Chains A and B, each alone.
Chain A
Amino acid sequence: MDLTESPEGQAYRAKVAAWLRENAPPFLITGRMPLGDEVALGRKWQARKAQAGYGALLWPKRYGGEAGAPNQMRIFRGEEARYPLPVQPYTGVGLGMALPTLFAHAPEELIERFAGPTLRGELTWCQLFSEPSAGSDLAGLRTRATRTEGGWIINGQKVWNSFADYADWAILIARSDPSRPKHQGLTYFVVDMHSPGIEARPIRQMTGGADFCEVFLTDVFIPDAQQIGAEGEGWKVALTTLAHERARFGGSRYQISASTLVRIARETCLNGRPAIEDSAVRERIAVIYARERGLTFFGARLATRTSRGEPIGPEVSVSKLVSPRLTQDTGAFAMELMGYEGLIEDESSDLRVIHDNFCLATSHRIAGGADEIMRNQIAEKVLKLPQDARLDKGVPFDQLSQLLTSTREIARR
């Protein structure tokens, strides 16, 4: 039990914990479950949650949510993370990014078409944003959207698309007008992943898993009704998605924390006594725990604002910046406490969880806006510092490569 919680929070936590005890067991991921099975299980788990009213706590009530109860969401996620449950971007992208973007920018009939099935895990989503040459410089993306009768034709390549090979639908940004500066020539779409011309290939990660894909789009047709926001205004719509993505990452519940460190430090020896009695160990744990708590309360402060109806502000970048690095520190220290043995990848011990979370946090420092981009966001959007000099500012996208070539030549001379 978290003693720092309000009585209402504690009551809600107890209720959620009891519900999970009762309902979670059939949905637990066992051993090294094949990814396809995990995704299928994830859909069922989402359906079960939706049935019980826990499916989308942050959504408006009329779409089956609980009208933005961020504190409840935080508590639910925390309790849910105690079990190895199938909650990953396969359901998360739809619930936490795609639909919130539609709520803000799409016509009612489109929202109604997608909200229910997504809530019940019948529809899963992926995000087609990043490209091989457009990561941190996302607005430099090259996938083309060309006008055609009744809609658009899409051609290009996307990358780092989590669970794209299992997704039913996707949110997509593409370049609709290369003659305009890069942020102004983009348009936002939703696209059926079963459309002809879409091919998703899994990419093997350093963990050995293959959660994300590269996606090739060849003459994919998207009808006009699936364009979100005005033509050329795709960047604005994408910013809504990105804000929600950052909020998701910042609120990530990792399976390791200061609690893990204390447990390990009690069980391991250092210089002939339990490691937990060593002052250097205690200090490192305390520093990590103080930051963990700071993040929790910071999240609660932001949640209080969004629960009043304010949009997610650029401050959300603080959570996204701090949380994965903290988990890296926690994971590394957990391994270190166990010495040489801490490197053994034993399926039956929790070392596997520690290793996985350590690696996962590494990916979270890059995905959804790298640390460096988060710092840019804080500097420019929160602290209002002048923007760094950008060579490509205001330059039509189709003249950019020419500009960069000539700049390189100047530099060479």
Chain B
Amino acid sequence: MIQAQARELLAERSTFPKLRQAANAERGFDADLWREVAELGWLSLDVPEEYGGMGCEGLERCVLSEELGRSLAPIPFASTSAVIDAVRLFGSDAQKARYLPGLASGEIRGALSLVEDPRLGGFAATFANGQLNGMVRPVQDVDVAGLLVLAARDADAGTAGLYLVDPDQAGVRRRPLKMFDRLRGHDEVTFEAARAERLGGDTAGDAAAAIAELAERCAVAIAFEQVGGSEACLEMAIAYVRERKTFGRVIGTYQAIQHRLADMFAEKELARSNAYAGAWGLTRPAEVRAATAAAARLSGTSAFDFAARENLQLHGGIGYTWEANCHFYFRRARLLAQCLGPTSRWVDRLVDSIETD
């Protein structure tokens, strides 16, 4: 039911003309829609009741991710949800009390960065003596975030750490980046003696394990976005091939076209099946979670890539224009494919989970 409501709301609020406007502006955040979904309780789903949430970890957030993937609505739902996960799972009691109520109500928007610098081969920012230094990019949704959770290098311990940072302080400088996907804001963030506190405070556990788990949770949420995006592409393509005529009949009657759509459907259904398994895997032990999340990630990425490219292809020349809407998904498919670390890392997670026969 929540899915049908979400679909209806997003279809009304996040129309293609609005998306085109947002893409032209290159800063897309829809503050009105954010307020509306916050009031509907979308952000409070996974937050424990004692911190003002509903405490119902279930499929609800997944189906919302799917609908957002379908509608491309420019709101930082994924980022804020990821930050909620970080704080509720790995925060100290004081941190939970301080941030969760605001995150649940939508007053605090979140941004999560696990990105590593490809030249350094590790986290670009360094934490020492309560302060962060360094430059990190790209960071999604940090332009509208009131709380940033950042993976950085702990200079003293020489290990990875997770840190809570207020991005509005003087020591944090944000520079907007022009991105391949124009519908989600990304910034280059420079930290100069920025105040930060360790997620989990003095009792913080193994940050590497926490980073891995957060990445896996993001992978599952993104897999649902990818399923939603794939389905939107498939529906767009079907609608088009039922109208467009060549050689005296609609192109949807040609098997060459039908078979491509059938393959898109099959790929999407495999991705959906793996996404559900991924959602279920989040409630299971770490090794199960790692495998189901990795399968969801690989499956979702290949399905959406395929759907986005073939949707554009089936639209012919019109698909290549700014006025057609294919490029939104074409661009989003790349964003979702590349925003969560190298594919090889997900490949490793999955291959390491296979038992030999």
Contacts and interface: CB of A to CB of B under 8 A. Distances in A.
A291 B357 contact: no
Nearest to A292: B295
B344 interface: yes
A198 interface: no
A3 interface: yes
Contacts of A4: 277, 280-281, 284, 288, 291-292
B242 A315 contact: no
Nearest to A300: B273
B320 interface: no
A321 B250 contact: no
A385 B288 contact: no
A287 B258 CA distance: 25
A282 B357 contact: no
Contacts of B238: 383, 385
Contacts of B292: 4, 293
A376 interface: yes
Given A258-B354, A298-B273, A385-B238, A291 B262 contact: no
Interface string A368-407: 0000101111111011011111000000000000000000
- Determine chain B's interface SS by DSSP, over half rule: helix
A378 B76 CA distance: 36
Nearest to B271: A294
B204 to A, nearest CB: 28
B299 A290 contact: yes
B242 A263 contact: no
Interface residues of A, number: 47
Contacts of B262: 317, 321, 374-379, 382-383
B164 to A, nearest CB: 33
Interface string B116-156: 00000000000000000000000000000000000000000
A388 B258 CA distance: 9
**DSSP majority for the A interface?**
helix
Nearest to A81: B357
A282 B259 contact: no
B284 A3 contact: yes
Q: Which of B234, B266, B276, B285: most chain A CB closer than 10 A?
A: B266
Contacts of B276: 297, 301
A78 to B, nearest CB: 11
Interface stretch (B2-10, B52-60, B180-188, B345-353): B345-353
Interface string A239-265: 000000000000000000111101100
A115 interface: no
B274 A290 contact: yes
Interface in A80-127: none
B299 A294 contact: yes
A336 interface: no
A283 B281 CA distance: 22
Contacts of B242: 385-386
A403 B317 CA distance: 38
A318 interface: yes
Contacts of B265: 318, 378, 382-383
Interface string A300-327: 1100000000000001011001100000
A10 B213 CA distance: 25
Given A282-B347, A286-B298, A379 B269 contact: no
A12 interface: no
Contacts of A279: 344, 347
A388 to B, nearest CB: 5
A386 B294 CA distance: 37
Contacts of A388: 253-255, 258
A216 interface: no
A294 B346 CA distance: 16
B271 A289 contact: no
Nearest to A384: B238
A50 interface: no
Contact of B269 (A263, A285, A318, A375): A318
Interface of A: 3-4, 257-260, 262-263, 266, 276, 279, 282-283, 285-287, 289-291, 293-298, 300-301, 315, 317-318, 321-322, 372, 374-380, 382-383, 385-389
A-B pairs with lowest CB-CB distance, top 10: A294-B270, A379-B258, A297-B273, A375-B262, A378-B262, A259-B357, A263-B356, A298-B273, A286-B347, A375-B259
Given A286-B298, A379-B261, 20 more contacts: A4-B277, A4-B288, A259-B354, A259-B355, A283-B343, A289-B295, A289-B350, A293-B273, A293-B292, A294-B271, A301-B273, A372-B255, A375-B263, A378-B265, A379-B255, A379-B258, A383-B262, A385-B241, A388-B253, A388-B254
